[in-house]
Amino acid sequence: MDKIQILKFTANFVIILRDLLSYAIIARIIMSWFTMGRPSHGRIAMFLRDVTEPILRLAKKLPHRIGMIDLSPFIALIGLDLLGRLIVVLLTQLA
């Protein structure tokens, strides 16, 4: 494999990872609507919590509330998108 193929592979990997993490955050939001804030102990809920909690914990360090609405998932989604795009741009400039 040459350098360009490795950079393309890495850029695609970053894009797919960003998308999977975004879908996991969205799934966690939807699951929270059905559990009404009570912690769920199912395997899927625990997996989603384990995967998304480090990202959401970072987003919760910023001001993230409007009244009773928690905006940390929205902040995390924007941060993931910006970080993913930045990494892809940097990788394409290396090629």
The pairing of strands 69-70 and 65-66 is antiparallel
More confident residue, 36 or 63: 63
Task: Work out the average pLDDT over 74-84.
Answer: 95
Residues 6+ apart with CB under 8 A from 8: 95
Stretch (H or E) spanning 66: strand 65-66
**Percent of the chain surpassing pLDDT 70:** 99
Give the whole-angstrom CA distance, residue 12 versus residue 24: 18
Q: Give the domain range for residue 37.
A: 3-94
The answer, as to whether pTM is greater than 0.75, is yes
Domain count, the chain: 1
Task: Work out the average pLDDT over 79-87.
Answer: 96
More confident residue, 3 or 38: 3
Q: Name the DSSP letter for residue 69.
A: E
